[in-house]
Amino acid sequence: MKVAFYAPMKALDDPTPSGDRTVGRLLVAALRRAGHDVVVPSRLRSYDRGNPERQRRLRDVGRRLADRLAARHSGPGRPFDLWFTYHLYHKAPDWLGPRVAGHLGIPYVVAEASVAGKQRGGPWQTGHEASLAALEQAALVIGLNPADRAGVTAHLRPQTRYLDLPPFVETAPFAGAADARAPSRARLAARHGLDPALPWLVTVAMMRDDQKLASYRVLAAAVARLDRTRFQLLVIGAGPAEAAVRSALAPLGTGVTFHGAADPRELPELYAAGDIYVWPAIKESWSMAFIEAQAAGLPVVAGRSGGVAGVVEDGVTGILAAEGDAAGFAAGVARLLDPAVRSAMGRAARERALARHDIGAAALRLDTALRAVVAAGGMPLQAVAV
């Protein structure tokens, strides 16, 4: 099938790395793995920080562009079999997809939608209304974060299908790195002077002055509660808040090592060299790093925020603490410092990641769902003026 893939939050080729961009690229990769021809019809970014006037201008631009796209692709035959929009919410509404799909008579599909009722009447009212209108037109909604399900399904038509799709990555590089752990660990120990006899806590996260910094501060408070002679902390990441992150972790002294930014190709080896993945996940949906670390055989200690519980099985593949609870987080780390517990959860983490969160499984589920929607003709669509 030919799929029109659109990301109103951030274009797939945006130069700034982010989890949002990564998930969008993974969805495209899964669609292509399933044999679909994916086309990006527009790079229009509808993201707005809360300026109603700017939202209205984006709406007008979007409507004009949607009409041009529809006119360009009208005529004999179907230019696309369906329209697929990734990451729809009040700050990044979809001004294109519903309108183009309605004109062309093709199914409209949404992945990673969320609805925040508190935005009704607020500074994002325009985007909020547009997102609800788009969801009402959807033939299929794909949810990656279980925490979003209830809010989204309340705004769908009865006949609209909601597919829970576990977040996914290409697990093979991480699983392969786990099989070559010993030399990776030796190289990293030599590079940073780490003690290979101690368990290494690993975290991989950008250093931004937002919830990332908040998570680093909870991590620092948690680790400070533990006997630092029993482990070493390896921090992988960089960013504009690096000075603040270093300040928060400074009391750990030589117990913390900063690796700096890592090339994505380096990550499988870095995860595999470690022993426990740690991240408090303040105000995060689920974090791709949790899946990557588990695929490399690391059990996880995480904050129970957003959809984290959907990717880390508490007591099986890791330990979840209440969001922001430094004491609970420290207790989770202490439990995994037990070699037997750590080994058992590490094995379970790898098995679950490979079985549940691999791109191959995601490609199959996406393909089945999309073909069913197209075969059914989607819903009767109308050209809507969102």
Taking the CA of residue 324 as centre, how many other CA atoms within 13 Å lie in the half-sphere pointing to its CB?
Answer: 5
- CATH number for the domain formed by residue range(s) 2-168+359-375: 3.40.50.2000
Report the pLDDT averaged over residues 209-234: 97
Q: What pLDDT does residue 379 have?
A: 55
Q: What pLDDT does residue 73 have?
A: 87
CA angle 276, 279, 282 (to 5 degrees): 165
Q: What pLDDT does residue 383 have?
A: 40
- Domain(s) labelled CATH 3.40.50.2000 in the chain stretch across 2-168+359-375, 172-356
In the chain, % of residues over pLDDT 70: 98
Question: 93, 174, 103: which is closest to 357 by C-alpha?
Answer: 174
pTM: 0.91
Q: In which band, very low, low, confident or very high, does the pLDDT at 286 lie, cut at 50, 70 and 90?
A: confident
Q: Within its chain, how far is the Cα of 298 from the centroid? A: 19
Q: What pLDDT does residue 76 have?
A: 78
Rg of the chain over CA atoms, in angstroms?
Answer: 22
State whether the Cα torsion 244-309-267-12 is positive or negative: negative
Burial of 253 (0-12, 13-18, 19+ CB in 10 A): exposed
Per-residue tokens: 222: 């948690």
**pLDDT: which is higher, 172 or 75:** 172
In the chain, % of residues over pLDDT 90: 92
Q: In which band, very low, low, confident or very high, does the pLDDT at 385 lie, cut at 50, 70 and 90?
A: very low
Residue partners of 138: CB distance under 8 A and separation at least 6: 108, 109, 110, 156, 160
Report the pLDDT averaged over residues 235-246: 97
Q: Going along the chain, which residue ranges are E strands? A: 2-6, 37-39, 82-88, 108-113, 140-143, 161-164, 200-204, 232-236, 256-260, 276-279, 300-304, 318-322
pLDDT greater than 70 at residue 295? yes
Convert the pLDDT of each residue in 7-35 to its tens digit.
Answer: 999 999 999 888 899 999 999 999 999 99
Report the pLDDT averaged over residues 291-314: 96
Q: What pLDDT does residue 378 have?
A: 67
Per-residue tokens: 202: 């690993």
Structural contact between residues 112 and 141, judged by C-beta atoms closer than 8 angstroms: no
Convert the pLDDT of each residue in 126-140 to its tens digit.
Answer: 999 999 999 999 999
pLDDT greater than 70 at residue 169? yes
Helices (H), 297-358: 326-336, 339-356
Q: How far apart are CA 156 and CA 24, in angstroms?
A: 23
Structural contact between residues 298 and 346, judged by C-beta atoms closer than 8 angstroms: yes
Structural contact between residues 30 and 362, judged by C-beta atoms closer than 8 angstroms: yes
Structural contact between residues 117 and 151, judged by C-beta atoms closer than 8 angstroms: yes
pLDDT greater than 60 at residue 381? no
Convert the pLDDT of each residue in 317-368 to its tens digit.
Answer: 999 999 999 999 999 999 999 999 999 999 999 999 999 999 999 999 999 9
Per-residue tokens: 186: 């030796």
Coarse DSSP helix, strand, coil percentages of the chain, rounded to the nearest 5 percent: 45, 15, 35
Q: What is the DSSP string of 51-106?
A: -HHHHHHHHHHHHHHHHHHHHHH-SSS-S-SEEEEEEEBTTB--SSHHHHHHHHT-
Question: 295, 298, 254: which is closest to 279 by C-alpha?
Answer: 298
Q: What pLDDT does residue 181 have?
A: 95
The dihedral formed by the CA atoms of 24, 28, 31 and 34, expressed in degrees to the nearest 10:
-120
Convert the pLDDT of each residue in 62-89 to its tens digit.
Answer: 999 999 999 998 877 779 999 999 999 9
pLDDT greater than 70 at residue 178? yes
**pLDDT: which is higher, 10 or 286:** 10
Report the pLDDT averaged over residues 238-263: 96
The CATH number, out of the four listed (3.40.50.2000, 3.40.47.10, 3.20.20.450, 3.40.50.300), of the domain defined by the range 172-356? 3.40.50.2000
Convert the pLDDT of each residue in 101-114 to its tens digit.
Answer: 999 999 999 999 99
